[in-house]
Amino acid sequence: MKARRLDIAIVGGGTAGAATALFLSRAGHRVSLFERVPEPTAVGAGILLQPTGMRVLGSLDLLDPLLAHGARIDSLYGSNAGGRAVLDVRYRDWNASAFGLGLHRGALFSVLWNALAAQGVKLRSGTTVDRLEQTRVKASLFSGGESLGEFDCVVLADGARSDLRAALPIPQQVEPYPWGALWAMVPDEGLHPGVLRQWFRNAEQMLGLMPTGCGQDGDGTPVLSLFWSLPANGVDAWRDAGLEAWKRSVLALAPVDRVIEHIASASQLTFASYSDVRMKHWHAGRVVCIGDCAHATSPQLGQGANLALIDASVLADCLQSVADVPASLADYSARRKSQLRYYQMSSRWLTPFFQSRSRLASGLRDLALGPLCRAPLLRSEMARTLSGTKTGLLWGELAP
């Protein structure tokens, strides 16, 4: 069947929205991308691209410049305050050639948005979409009472706090996590090459360092992403205690003097909060939710950008030979269900072991997780989970 050319609106120009716009535009659809920020740019620290996300970027012919910009990650290693290994996951235990890619969020943003410009996607930046209506045959978008047009399909990719998603007739829950993280970018002096290194004191303190490749300024200087776990209601107390008090806490946990000497001001540290978004399904008529708008989780498994990229690829495939848009979006929900449910469940289950005040959870983690990481079968399953390929607790894997 010859593909029907659709008028498609995408709300949100982050990873999910930009990748979807590229896929659909290259498939011949008329795509309009609406972004509320007048001059969009990347916000946030480094991200970890998994083999699944890199596969999608490869299908868009965008992987090579990111490989040149990022830092190869071969393993995740974490120890507690006593020096005991409690986390040791290596990509090679899943696939001998697999690896992750530490990347500045700005690098991914730039590559995607440059590709959008080259593709000629219609970009509407500085536009806040505040209302959506749909009939049996069309969906309409509005901004402050002004019509933004009628479309065959609307893709919501406007993040975990999406007001448009909240107005859809889909059972959904949005729960802010009680914990978040301070983050900063600092020079990478080769302290832990190829490793996303973490240190834990119970589940209340966590320091993470991830090689992130070249900095956003493009001068070729290698950088690290630094993360420090913090309760969402503890930011003011952290600020009041002062930078030196924080540095003492960090150094009491990990020997990273050379890293934190690059942080001279509290303004270099930014607090990021997270939410857990759960939806019964991700479509309603001619509207579909993707990315964090659909399934935001805590960052424990490093899957956010990767799941968003897979969403984009699967949605484009579902709309490839479309005779009925609502049916195609229902197909999208069905095809994404198993993987998204698995990673949402896993993130919710793991988070209290790494970010909480539960001594029981951290004690169980320290006692059991290290030995589990050394068991051959479980080691392989942990690596497969990290790679982003699992679609179920006991079985199921994404097709190559």
Per residue in 18-62, pLDDT tens? 999 999 999 999 999 999 998 877 676 789 999 999 999 999 999
* AA identity, residue 54: M
List Cβ<8 Å contacts ≥24 apart for 375-379. 379/89, 379/90, 379/93
Residue 109 has pLDDT above 50, yes or no: yes
Q: Which of 2-11, 157-166, 272-281 has the lowest mean pLDDT?
A: 2-11
H/E stretch holding 178: none
Residue 400 has pLDDT above 60, yes or no: no
Q: Are 156 and 289 in contact (CB under 8 A)?
A: yes
Q: How confident is the model at residue 300 (pLDDT cuts 50, 70, 90)?
A: confident
Residue 1 has pLDDT above 60, yes or no: no
**Could you tell me whether strands 153-156 and 7-11 are parallel, antiparallel, or unpaired per DSSP bridges?**
parallel
What pLDDT is recorded for position 325?
95
Average pLDDT, the chain: 92
Phi, psi of 76 (to 5 degrees): -115, 130
Q: Is the pTM higher than 0.85?
A: yes
Residue 126 has pLDDT above 50, yes or no: yes
Q: Tell me the two tokens of residue 113.
A: 């948005």
Q: Tell me the two tokens of residue 106.
A: 């700005």
Assigned superfamily of 7-176+274-387? FAD/NAD(P)-binding domain (3.50.50.60)
Residue 191 has pLDDT above 90, yes or no: no
What pLDDT is recorded for position 106?
87
**Mean of pLDDT values over 371-394:** 86
237 Cβ contact partners less than 8 Å away, ≥ 6 residues apart:
none
Q: How confident is the model at residue 331 (pLDDT cuts 50, 70, 90)?
A: very high
Q: Is 111 helix (H, G, I), strand (E, B) or coil?
A: helix
* 275 beta partners: 176
β-sheet with 139-143: strand ranges across = 131-134, 139-143, 146-151
Residue spans per domain, the chain: 7-176+274-387
Higher pLDDT, 376 or 287: 287
d(CA 208, CA 198): 4
* 208 beta partners: 198, 227
Question: For the chain, first and last CA: distance in Å?
Answer: 25
Compute the chain's Rg from CA coordinates: 21
CA-closest candidate to residue 155, choices 304, 346, 291, 2: 291
Phi, psi of 29 (to 5 degrees): -80, 155
Residue 262 has pLDDT above 60, yes or no: yes
CA-closest candidate to residue 161, choices 175, 171, 144: 175
**Mean of pLDDT values over 282-294:** 97
What pLDDT is recorded for position 205?
95
What pLDDT is recorded for position 222?
92
Give Dmax (Cα) for the chain: 66
**Mean of pLDDT values over 378-388:** 91
Q: Tell me the two tokens of residue 176.
A: 């802010």
Q: How confident is the model at residue 399 (pLDDT cuts 50, 70, 90)?
A: low
Q: How confident is the model at residue 321 (pLDDT cuts 50, 70, 90)?
A: confident
Residue 3 has pLDDT above 70, yes or no: no
